[in-house]
Amino acid sequence: MKLTRRILTGACALLIAASSAIVLSGCSEKEETVADIAAVKAAGKLVVGITEYEPMDYKDENGEWTGFDAEFARLFAADLGVEVEFVEIDWDNKIFEVQSGAIDCIWNGMTITGEILESCSVSDPYIRNEQVIVRKADVAFEYSELSEMTGLTFAVEAGSAGESAIADTITNITAVATQADALLEVASGSADACVIDATMARAMVGDGTSYADLAEGITLTQEDYGVAFRKGSDLCDELNAFMDKIIADGSFQALGDKYGLSVVTE
């Protein structure tokens, strides 16, 4: 694997540089190895913590989980010789869920932050993302800076990167269970704006989507997605090796193209 694929960009990189105790890849920390691969194989399943979040994890017309992360997780599980069990979690409690063993990993468009790296073993980055403000389309570009929007009401997913992006500037914030709920707050008029992942905004707002009257406006931060495991889990290095394999054979890029996502391949 080239070292460049381990380098985090944007706000995520700044978070990491601010703490000399945090290394670029959570898997490479010197810590006792936890034999999760054997446990997962013995159980016959990989338990994946998610929220409903198009295009990463969402249900198709048959009620089955699909999306970029759902497909990616299934590919990895198949490589391990096991099935996947998707479990919807409270995103604000995601770290506790994986540390407690309730799930094997957090795999749901998770932004790599200093907090995550301190608490979990984290895979190499695999998707580039941004936090963006979504408003009604007719006012989406009314302001050019977050500092001009202090009089507005915002909805965010509790414990999300979106919440962190505005916490120091905006005081009128409603924390909801999911990013999809944050969109609903804006669509219903209960909030003036929400902050969600650009990956979701580009799939769910604008012409031809379920929220044609909403639009993506200001970009707040740039970041990378990773998969989090309990500290020391050998599943982390196993996933990194698997990513190297599917990057080399082109299937990872093909999966990114299918969902219109910027995958990290270098």
The answer to whether the CB of 8 falls within 8 A of the CB of 110 is no
Amino acid at position 73, single letter = A
Taking alpha carbons only, the member of 158, 230, 155 closest to residue 192 is: 155
Q: Are residues 249 and 167 in the same domain?
A: no
Tell me: the pLDDT tens digits for 199-252?
A: 999 999 999 998 999 999 999 999 999 999 999 999 999 999 999 999 999 999
In the chain, how long is the greatest CA-to-CA distance? 55
121 lies in the same domain as 242: yes
Whether residue 46 is predicted with pLDDT greater than 80 in this model: the reply is yes
Number of domains in the chain: 2
CB 235, CB 105: distance < 8 Å: yes
CA distance 203 to 53: 10
Tokens 């699909």: give the residue.
66
The pTM score is 0.79
CATH number, position 135: 3.40.190.10
- 150 found inside a domain: yes
Q: What is the pLDDT of residue 19?
A: 36
List all residues 6 or more positions away from 99 whose beta carbon is below 8 Å from its beta carbon. 119, 120, 230, 231
**Residue-range definition of the domain harbouring residue 179:** 130-222
